[in-house]
Structure 1
Amino acid sequence: MHISNIRKNDFIFKFSNPTLNLLDSNQSTLSIDKWNFLSNLVRCFDENSGYKFVADFIEEQSALPLKLRFKYSSVNPFFASMMSKVQLVFEKNRDFLLLSQHDRTVLLKNTVEYTATIGGMFILRQSRLLDDFSFSQSAEMIFQPSGMIFIKRVIDQFDSDDTFIKLILTILAFATINYTVYRKNIQINLTNMKVILPIQDMYTELTWQYLVDKYGHLQAVKRFSNLLKCLFSVTKAIVEVHQVQKFTDIINSIIEQTEETNF
């Protein structure tokens, strides 16, 4: 299947923010301040996660003859740029910017594999790029067929609510977690855990309130339960692709770029 019919405007249009619908219809139980905070968070994601970059890439490739579209030489740098742009979302977060330079660096290095990988998978789902046979083949050359099996499995498990995923990505950006994948020279000690934990709690509470407000308590529980299953699949995917040098090169490049431009 080819996705030549996907155009820039069609792709960008998909990301219009649906989170204000409940508020506009006076059905929301969230406060105005929380809805504004949520809307700003989603807007930050939409403006900084590289949607336009992906849309431009699709349009550029769609203009080529079929045999020349989504070749490895184009898809390889695309993944590096896309995952790097997704990471910008968290670097622009106001709570992240309020942390000390040391703690920002520690969080970045400890969470980048999750945030950049899940964010990249999310963009792939939205763009439907993996529906294109040529793109999928090139992706397999980068992450290996076994890695792409895990990646596609995660994408299939994603919740259908885009706002929920964006909130979860924000929570993960502040997660004080350790990986099942060992990496050298990673600092794990935060200087001020008491500042970071309330940030985690705030975003987690907002996510829960958003789900309950929109879907009710039972569906909120089910969606969080499915999220845990999805995160287990994410960990398996990261372990699998971590064996691929190109993946580790992308992650290391994101860290280096971030340190050079922000720290």
Structure 2
Amino acid sequence: MAFKRCLSASPLSSSEHINNDTTVRTQLKKSSNSGICRVCGDVARIINYGALSCQSCKTFFRRNGLRPQNVRPCSFNTHCEINMQTRHTCATCRLAKCFMMGMSPDLIRKEDLKIRKGSSSKSSNVEQVIPKQITTTSQLPTLDLLQDDRSHLTNSEWTLLSNIVYAYDIYSTDRQMRLAIDNLSIYPVAMHINMINPLEIVRKICISIRSFIISSPDFQILTLNEKTSLIERNLHGIIGFSEISFFRNTGILYNSSCLKAFTTVYGSDMMLTAKKLHERLDPDSTLIKLILIILAFSSNCLVLNINKSMEDDHLLYGTFRLFGSQNVYVELLWKYMIYQYGYNESVLRFSRLIQIFLCILQNLSTIYTSNKTYRQMTDCTIEEAKQLLAINVNEQILLWGKI
């Protein structure tokens, strides 16, 4: 893998380029009193391997600095922004920023050499103190299958994962909305209220997530009645989860004009809850996209039974039709998490994702029953989706495929 030390997303002027270790160390010592990690912005106290860095970035560089060719390539053309929230998402861009900030693999080798010398001297002293006749009782090795589980995804699974991420990004409105929010600053504040339409924004979220689900081959192999049932059962819950992710990705809750506009529709309590939930949401966007496709093929992620006829729908007695898709996507999620975070961290992250989703469903049921405007908008979106399915039943849909 061709490795670049400088991120194209953060170009340096000629006077700022890191040319030698002496210059780097001088600059870093001057900035060491800032207490901010030069890589991700977390709290930092000392210089590690040539740069002021936090414990997380120190550990990351120690693991990868000597073998940059083994780091998985960036999926976004080395344009990832590295901060406290995104530092675990792209190893390539994080390592590139470590190098750019002056971290050196040579310092890892020197540290390893000191450790080896220290351990060898300690072992020699121990041998002189302990009598040779004293022996220790050997223990049988125990199996720790969970800790040793470092499953790697197959090529077809990596392809499926990239297809899911790509399909989501194709239909997502996050980037366009983020740009629109940033451009609000060029207009007078008095005009903002007329430029922000919360219901239209939510409607676009609904359409994008609907298109994402429909483009799946697993969805297309279902019958029309099964497709309609799946949309009716799950789209409400998926929309709620997507909204929290949307709030996080666009920063909409930190723009005073946008927050005020959404508060008029949802109420202050609901927006406060949404802000708390989005702050707890996992920063790894790939996990969010995988969770969404899993929820799309769940048996039911609807809190409220808003349609009595759903009790006789085609999936109530035939949920086995969904098991194959569920198994594929859940296994893909778990393998990705094990690959990225290891077993213990994966369990914690997965548990938090489930907990947050249950909180979202609880709040979704509240706003659905109490907010007539929101209820009408989401119901209309789902009805529109069902009508499109019926109209386009024979239309060829552009699929993203499994292989």
Task: Specify if TM > 0.5.
Answer: yes
Structure possessing the higher radius of gyration over alpha carbons = 2
Identity %: 20
Measured in 2, the distance between the counterparts of 1:82 and 1:222 equals 28
Distance 1:61 1:50, change over 3 A: same
Query: In structure 2, what is the equivalent of residue 239 of structure 1?
Result: 365
* Matches for 1:22-171 after TM superposition, within 5 Å: 29-55=152-178, 57-58=180-181, 61-71=184-194, 74-171=197-294
Amino acid aligned to 2:197: S
Distance 1:154 1:190, change over 3 A: farther
2:349 aligns with one of 216, 223, 227: 223
Question: How big is the shift at 1:115?
Answer: 0.9
Distance 1:246 1:83, change over 3 A: same
Contact preservation (8 Å) 1:147, 1:240: no
Measured in 2, the distance between the counterparts of 1:222 and 1:260 equals 40
Q: Which has the higher contact order (CA 8 A, sep 6+)?
A: 1
TM-score by length of 2: 0.56
Query: In structure 2, what is the equivalent of residue 6 of structure 1?
Result: none
TM-score by length of 1: 0.84
SS at match of 2:300: coil
Measured in 2, the distance between the counterparts of 1:85 and 1:178 equals 19
Q: Please say which of residues 103-112 and 83-92 is displaced more in the overlay.
A: 83-92
Q: Please say which of residues 204-213 and 235-244 is displaced more in the overlay.
A: 235-244
Structure 2's unaligned 5+ residue stretches are 1-8, 10-75, 82-87, 96-149, 391-403
SS at match of 1:262: helix
Distance 1:186 1:61, change over 3 A: farther
Distance 1:73 1:207, change over 3 A: closer
Query: In structure 2, what is the equivalent of residue 255 of structure 1?
Result: 382
Structure 1 vs Structure 2 CA RMSD: 3.0
Distance 1:166 1:178, change over 3 A: closer
Distance 1:165 1:249, change over 3 A: same
Structure 1's unaligned 5+ residue stretches are 1-8
Measured in 1, the distance between the counterparts of 2:221 and 2:89 equals 26
Distance 1:81 1:166, change over 3 A: same
Contact preservation (8 Å) 1:50, 1:85: yes
Q: Which runs of 4+ in 1 moved over 4 A?
A: 12-15, 18-22, 70-73
Question: How big is the shift at 1:228?
Answer: 2.0
Deviations, residues 65-96 of structure 1 (Å, cap 9, x unaligned)? 22212448633322222332232211212211
